[in-house]
Amino acid sequence: MTDTAVPVTTRKDWSSDQEVRWCPGCGDYSILTAVQLLMPELHVRRENTVFVSGIGCAARFPYYMNTYGLHGIHGRAPAIATGLAVARPDLDVWVVGGDGDMLSIGGNHLLHALRRNVNITILMFNNQIYGLTKGQYSPTSEVGKVTKSTPFGSLDTPFNPISVALGAEATFVARTHDMDRQHMMETFRRAHAHKGAAFVEIYQNCNVFNDGAFETITAKANRDDMLIPLVHGEPIRFGADDEKGVALGHDGKLGLVEVADVGAGAILVHDETNHGLAFQLSRLAHGPHEPTPVGVFRAVDASEYAEATDRQLAAAHEQKGPGDLRALLHSGATWTVD
């Protein structure tokens, strides 16, 4: 919710007095910095901003923001945020959590917040591991991952968070990474501006328990050839000289091509409103060791949950008259037990 009358703020205004306690070198620091630098640019009030988290390293985030915050229980941050956003649609509600918190015990809550299109901004830190509990495999860990809980290698097929969000009909779905502050800030800015449920996956390095998980694609020397920027209305090209691209094959599947081989006209133009295209793009890479799309996969307008709830209540009041909550609470037992 923007307010043109808000006072001018700086990063310092949005930073709490709490000592930031993550492992030295953790990618969470860069994400926190990106958010704290972005907040003054959003022209929102600190007293109207809430960060909700669950359990995990990422869940410490609310302590470091000079806003309202709620450190919830494991996996329940999307559910808590749903109640808050519906009851107080005037607030900016952010949800912060890791891949374990949101896709394991919290998977159910995440899916329903997305499908309902609740007006919340969800930042999911994906380091493909459980960090806080010391290195167990997570729902995004690759098959064969050797950890303390999978000493012979994980047998589980990992979730693709972007595909999961798209399958839940999320109206805004994006991906960024912790090595590019400007890209994070612009992605978060777009997510915040979206009316409805916005889901952002952030590739985040855990340098203690899963160091270098994304280095193949996010290391500065590799980005040109390994990160595929998605820009609405523009051809999907990448490489130092945009010499590579994404094209639709005769089999109906997306593939990577050399522009010189197929011609510029054959390169696919990105369309954020095309759900099927977004899903295909989410499946383009089989893991963070192949050229991987980053940016906004999908952004569409749809009915927002709190507004739909208000319309339904207004219609009910028109038909039956306003309810009396006090009378309901004092109405006595509603059933008899013999």
Give tens-digit pLDDT for 150-204: 999 999 999 999 999 999 999 999 999 999 999 999 999 999 999 999 999 999 9
Domain chopping of the chain, boundaries? 11-240+268-304
């097929």: which residue's tokens? Answer: 157
Averaged pLDDT of the chain: 94
Q: What is the mean pLDDT of residues 63-84?
A: 97
pLDDT at 313: 83
Buried b / exposed e over 41-77, threshold 16 CB at 10 Å, is ebebbbebbbbbbbbbbbbbbbbbbbbbbebbeebbb
Supply 224's token pair.
């040109």
Give residue 11's pLDDT band: very low, low, confident or very high (50, 70, 90).
very high
- For the chain, the C-alpha Rg in angstroms (whole number) is 22
CATH of 11-240+268-304, one of 3.10.20.30, 3.40.50.970, 3.30.70.20, 3.40.710.10: 3.40.50.970
User: Three-state SS for 21?
Assistant: coil
320 has pLDDT over 90 = no
Nearest-CA neighbor of 196 among 175, 173, 177, 164? 173
Give tens-digit pLDDT for 257-292: 999 999 999 999 999 999 999 999 999 999 999 999
Q: Measured at the alpha carbon of residue 307, what is the angle toward residues 89 and 91, in degrees to the nearest 5?
A: 10
User: Of the given ranges (28-37, 61-70, 295-304, 307-316), which has the lowest mean pLDDT?
Assistant: 307-316
pLDDT at 147: 95
Give residue 336's pLDDT band: very low, low, confident or very high (50, 70, 90).
low
Q: Residue 107, class by beta-carbon neighbours within 10 Å (0-12 exposed, 13-18 middle, 19+ buried)? A: middle
pLDDT at 324: 73
What CA–CA distance (Å, rounded) separates 36 from 30?
Answer: 10
pLDDT at 302: 97
Q: How many CB atoms lie within 10 A of CB 316?
A: 12
pLDDT at 316: 82
What proportions of the chain, in percent to the nearest 5, are helix, strand and coil? 35, 20, 45
User: Quick one: three-class SS letters along 154-222?
Assistant: CCCCCCCHHHHHHHCCCCEEEEEECCCHHHHHHHHHHHHHCCCCEEEEEECCECCCECCCCHHHHCCCC
